[in-house]
Amino acid sequence: MNPAERINELTEKLNYYNQRYYMDSISEISDQEFDMLLKELESLENQYPDLKLPESPTHRVGGTITKNFASVEHRYPMLSLANTYNEQELIDFDERVKKGLNGENYEYICELKFDGISLSMTYENGIFVRGVTRGDGVRGDDITNNVKTIKTLPLKVKNTFQTAPPSGATAFEIRGEGFLPYSSFEKMNAEAEAAGEESYANARNAASGSFKLQDSTEVARRGLDAYVYQFLSDEEIFATHEESLIALKNLGFNVSQTWRKCNTIQEVIAYINEWDEKRFSLPLATDGIVIKLNSIAQRAELGYTAKSPRWAIAYKYKAESKPAILKAVTYQVGRTGAITPVAELDNDKLNGKGIHLSGTTVKRASLHNANEIERLGLRIGDTVFVEKGGEIIPKVTAVDLSKRDMFNTQEILYPTNCPECGGALTRKEGEANHYCTNEKGCPPQIRGRIEHFIHRKAMNIDSLGEGKIELLYDKGLVHDITDLYDLTYEKLFGLEKVTEDENGKVRKIGFKEKTVQNILEGIEKSKQAPFKQVLFGIGIRYVGATVAEKLASFFKNIDNIKNADYETLRTAPEIGDKIAQSIVEYFQNEENQVFIEKLRLAGLQFSARDEVKEMEGDQLAGKTFLYTGTFANFEREALEQKIEANGGKVVSGVSGKLDFLIVGDKPGASKIQKAQKLNVKMISEDEFMAMLG
Residues annotated as catalytic (active site), given as ranges: 113
Indicate the pairing of strand 379-380 with strand 410-411. Answer: antiparallel
Indicate the pairing of strand 71-73 with strand 286-293. Answer: unpaired
Cα separations (Å) of 646 from 112, 613, 686?
36, 11, 16
* CA 207 from centre of chain: 7
* CA 257 from centre of chain: 26
- For 65, the 3-state DSSP assignment is strand
**How long is the chain?**
693
- For 317, the 3-state DSSP assignment is coil
Longest pairwise C-alpha distance within the chain: 84
End-to-end distance of the chain based on CA atoms, in angstroms? 57
Task: Report the distance separating Cα 76 and Cα 482, nearest Å.
Answer: 52
Q: Are 323 and 384 in contact (CB under 8 A)?
A: yes
Q: Are 94 and 75 in contact (CB under 8 A)?
A: no
Beta-carbon contacts of 295 under 8 Å, excluding residues fewer than 6 positions away, are 106, 107, 239, 240, 241
Task: Report the distance separating Cα 232 and Cα 172, nearest Å.
Answer: 6
Q: Which amino acid is at 431?
A: E
What is the full DSSP assignment across 576-590? -HHHHHHHHHHHH-H
As a three-state string, the secondary structure of 613-655 is CCCCCCCCCCCEEEEECECCCCCHHHHHHHHHHCCCEECCCCC
What sign for the dihedral angle of Cα 560, 561, 567, 568? positive
* CA 669 from centre of chain: 23
